Amino acid sequence: MPASTPLNDTLAADKAALRSEIEAKRGIAHNALSETAGTAIRDLFLDAAPRADAPVIAGYWPFRTEIDPRPLMTALHALGHRIVLPVVVRKAAPLKFRLWGPGAPLVKAGLGGLVPDIGAPELEPDLLLVPMLAFDDTGCRLGYGGGFYDRTLEQLRGLKSVRAVGVAYEAQRVPAVPREATDQRLDAMLTETGMTEFEGSSA
């Protein structure tokens, strides 16, 4: 494990403070918009996002006050895409992805989220819908601190071309996300108000 430095400690403190601030803002947005946001991001994504090279798309099962991607996942499934959900296999490791479809049984995972049961096939996604706490206009994302999506995107981008589309409420946008060298940028950002593409962001 790398030794702690004043710079690392400051960055960690900045991220922790931002997580607390944005989680509160996300809760307010969720209370106001949760009934309409899921269909809004569905329609925006289907209108704006290229999907021809993405036969396998990773969604996520919403946790706490995360914006709900299930209307979009269901629509993509109906269009013939194979939908997978992320599974934490162990600490400090990339995520695995298990096949999901409407009505598929789910089980509670170690971090409290719901995932397909262990018998579901594992597939590598070509496009990922990525949850978060905060994002900025450069494609930087602030997650929950486990680094799972950063490790996963680094691994997948080393193997093939993949797209990472962040999904969040517009209220989660911030001027700048504190960034470490290991943080992976998003290719695009989807909120209930629109979709933004980032240039040169597959890194």
What percent of the chain is helix, strand and coil (3-state, nearest 5)?
30, 20, 45
Taking only the tens place, the pLDDT of each residue in 51-98 is 889 999 999 999 999 999 999 999 999 999 999 999 998 888 999 999
Taking only the tens place, the pLDDT of each residue in 30-39 is 999 999 999 9
- Positive/negative CA dihedral, 34, 35, 38, 41: negative
Residue 182 lies in a domain: yes
**CA distances from residue 188 to 137, 172, 173, 202 in whole angstroms, order as listed:** 10, 15, 13, 10
202 pLDDT tier (thresholds 50, 70, 90): low
CATH of the domain at 181: 3.40.50.10420
**Confidence (pTM):** 0.92
Residue 203 lies in a domain: no
Residue 20 lies in a domain: yes
pLDDT at residue number 1: 44
pLDDT at residue number 57: 98
pLDDT at residue number 181: 87
Residue 177 lies in a domain: yes
The amino acid sitting at 74 is: T
Residue 136 to residue 138: CA distance in whole angstroms:
6
Residue 202 lies in a domain: no
Residue 179 lies in a domain: yes
Residue 100 lies in a domain: yes
pLDDT at residue number 51: 85
As for how many domains the chain has, the answer is 1
Residue 1 lies in a domain: no
10 pLDDT tier (thresholds 50, 70, 90): confident
Taking only the tens place, the pLDDT of each residue in 155-180 is 999 999 999 999 999 999 999 999 88
Taking only the tens place, the pLDDT of each residue in 106-158 is 998 866 688 999 899 999 999 999 999 999 999 999 999 899 999 999 999 99
- Residue 11: domain span: 6-197
Identify the three-state secondary structure at position 175.
Answer: coil
pLDDT at residue number 54: 96
7 pLDDT tier (thresholds 50, 70, 90): low
